[in-house]
Chains A and B, each alone.
Chain A
């Protein structure tokens, strides 16, 4: 087995991973590994923008990081860790200015300053944007700067398993997709930045590569999964393909109509209307569809036609293209058919109480971006805060580690043992998959996706979720017997997708278990059998550990104390 040695390894080359890699590479020997070329990462699909209280617009002059933090905490339904949120919103104006300084082509106001637009759940227009392709603009900018600095990339390497030695992280085993060889990346610091895992659901806005590879690997070395029950269902995904239709479309004035021609948000959020937070708009749309006021019982209309051709072409050209390519609808002429779909995971790799932001309980292992749970989004994320999180904490983790100095590795001997043990487990697994006679991975994946879609979407209840748990437990057993050829390792994406499913199975199970455990309604976790928030018992983070007999649920306190807990109304 080939062995590569680094001071730190970053897994994932989206915005979080690139920003961490850029910072760390200034002084350390760092490898950034990614299963795709960096610019293929899902950060590039983000449309709407990145929040920062810059106050560039006259109607945003009064905005401050503190108000931004308040909106974020309020939007999180008081489950976000308030100290981390404050750090993020204070860094926000600086990180956006830094992006501009690196060359990001932001849209501009007449004054020449970065343009900002209103977004759901925000007190001021604070979402900075580059048309409706903000993620793409930021991702390419960061990649450019990484190329400039000579960041060492290992593209098309798939993270299979982490290994630890002497009680700390020691490295990871990756599959070099092009050669089909396993490679050991040894490092006393590993930063997981593997992004979202929406593909656990059948209908998701996520890229097909968003399968939680970091989450699965971290869980297998004993790191808990945190707040997995909080899954953001985006209110507006395109009917048919579930491709994201940005909140920016409503920020620019897009309106929602049911099949009776009613602007139904009047009933659900009379003040905020279409710009209420995502969980509320998603539930409203779902209710309209369930009660028979959708089109074809499946979708509602997002109408942009009144904005006119010029405004659509200027501010939402990407949305127009997507609607035309994937639904055959030109939004200049006709409303877009939309429905809610899985979009973002507030939960993720569990972090240590009172540790550095992103630090896990396993020394040397860190997690940032969507794969992590820091938790800045709590029970519901506000639009424009995810791009912000990625870059703020990518930079933060880099700076923090550099300041701490290089870590001492475990002994050579124990690293070697751990590495060989990890490799042995993988080889054994692949042998078994090759000779098994059970189901094809695809069958299991389909069933998992359908189950999550059906029982763990915007409305949840005990009997439904118990059904889901039974199904997922059955699928876990089926998965042990999957059959897939594994002898050809080179460029074998069939094999990679089976390895991805290995990660997603645990993620799905943890999501269901967390959701059953949490007997209240908070943010995106909405239970018809427990329709109110219960702060006394549940204003805590859910932590799911791998135990002797399967998943074990514990809790972690929420960092409060900056903002007083209130009822959440829009």
Chain B
């Protein structure tokens, strides 16, 4: 195993000045990209900014771009970056000029694409959450605590299982549509809509309401079936497939 690893890191003060800074980080077995980011903050620059929380790929905080691939910093082992199988057919993401990137030996660290950068690797996710709220992805029935609970068969539950495990990390916003259309609701938001559309407990009326909210030019209709979202999603949610399923549902209702 190598003793150290070189990184080339996107730095942005938030005032429009972008630079790429090189750092060399000592390696330990099992070290992840997130560990390296902390090492940089602890030993080189305490103001270096990135988001984090669980370090176990469940909270969705630490989405960044590693060697041009959107990924969670916590679940990416440093030793595997140059050899792991990467999703294919992703668009080219451009954040700034880095003519001196030594592709073989340096790991390139950049923020998530298609979101404005606040500072370093921290992006503004306001629109991400705004569109989440717009879809209104929640049960609208009056909740109560009187037993028994409403029933659902294991098969009905399985139908939404893939969709409920979305961690809202924002990796799917690497979609080329997000790059050009700032009003696009986004793959995560539409997958979240599908999570409720496919829930056997939903009422017909509620289903209709959700469909009305997502079946618009900047919603389901904006999806151009690149399926980048399916390929970068760290949880196997397959938002693109979900969007297709909504389309089918729309056809059925016609």
A: residues with CB less than 8 A from B are 36-37, 39-42, 44-45, 54, 93-98, 100-103, 105-114, 130-131, 133, 136-137, 140, 144-145, 147-148, 178, 207-209, 240-241, 243-244, 318, 321-322, 325-327, 440, 442, 484-485, 488, 490-495, 497
Contacts and interface: CB of A to CB of B under 8 A. Distances in A.
Contacts of B131: none
B58 interface: yes
Nearest to A136: B58
Contacts of A244: 56
Nearest to A486: B46
Nearest to A494: B46
Contact of A148 (B138, B152, B167): B138
B58 A98 contact: no
Contacts of B41: 493-494, 497
Contacts of B120: 491
A204 to B, nearest CB: 10
Given A45-B58, A207-B54, A145 B138 contact: yes
Nearest to B56: A243
A494 B45 CA distance: 8
B217 interface: no
B212 interface: no
A492 B49 contact: yes
B146 A112 contact: no
A410 to B, nearest CB: 35
B137 A144 contact: yes
Contacts of A130: 164
7 contacts: A40-B60, A41-B53, A45-B54, A103-B201, A490-B119, A493-B49, A495-B46
B5 interface: no
B225 to A, nearest CB: 27
A109 B137 contact: no
A275 to B, nearest CB: 24
A143 B61 CA distance: 16
A150 to B, nearest CB: 9
A140 B136 CA distance: 13
A240 B45 CA distance: 26
Contacts of A133: 58, 165
B149 A45 contact: no
Contacts of B51: 36
Interface in B33-82: 41-43, 45-61, 75
B140 interface: yes
B149 A442 contact: no
A42 B53 contact: yes
A544 to B, nearest CB: 28
B138 A106 contact: no
Contacts of B119: 490-491
Nearest to B132: A147
Interface string B94-115: 0000000000000000000000
Contacts of B141: 101
A111 B168 CA distance: 32
Given A106-B157, A107-B154, A492-B49, A40 B145 contact: no
A145 B137 CA distance: 9
Interface of B: 14, 29-30, 41-43, 45-61, 75, 118-120, 122, 125, 129, 132-133, 136-141, 143-154, 156-157, 160-161, 164-165, 167-168, 196, 199, 201
The 7 closest A-B CB pairs, nearest first, are A494-B46, A112-B151, A144-B138, A103-B139, A98-B145, A94-B145, A101-B143
Contacts of B133: 147
Nearest to A178: B118
Q: Which of B47, B55, B57 has the most chain A CB atoms closer than 10 A to its own CB? A: B47
Nearest to A484: B46
Nearest to B59: A40
Given A493-B41, A493-B49, A494-B47, A105 B160 contact: yes
A148 B138 CA distance: 7
B143 A112 contact: no
Given A45-B59, A112-B153, A36 B53 contact: yes
A497 B152 CA distance: 44
Given A98-B145, A103-B139, A37 B75 contact: no
A93 B120 CA distance: 46
B189 to A, nearest CB: 12
A321 B165 CA distance: 13
B56 A45 contact: yes
A39 B138 contact: no
A106 B53 CA distance: 25
Contacts of B196: 103
Contacts of B147: 54, 93-94, 97
A207 B153 contact: no
A320 B133 CA distance: 32
Nearest to A440: B42
A436 B168 CA distance: 40
B157 A491 contact: no
A491 B47 CA distance: 8
B49 A491 contact: yes
Contacts of B118: 178, 491
A101 B145 contact: yes
B68 to A, nearest CB: 21
A329 to B, nearest CB: 12
Contacts of A54: 147
Contact of B47 (A105, A209, A492): A492
Given A39-B60, A42-B53, A325-B57, A107 B157 contact: yes
A105 B42 contact: no
Contacts of B122: 491
Contacts of B148: 97, 113
Contacts of B56: 45, 207, 241, 243-244, 322, 326
A326 B58 CA distance: 13
B54 A113 contact: no
Contacts of B144: 97-98, 101
A37 B138 contact: no
Nearest to A114: B149
B72 to A, nearest CB: 9
A144 B50 CA distance: 26
A109 B154 contact: yes
Contacts of A112: 151-153
A240 B55 CA distance: 13
A325 B120 CA distance: 26
A290 to B, nearest CB: 23
A241 B30 contact: yes
Contact of A322 (B14, B30, B57, B140): B57
Contact of A208 (B54, B58, B143): B54
Given A112-B151, A325-B75, A494-B47, A36 B157 contact: no
Nearest to B128: A37
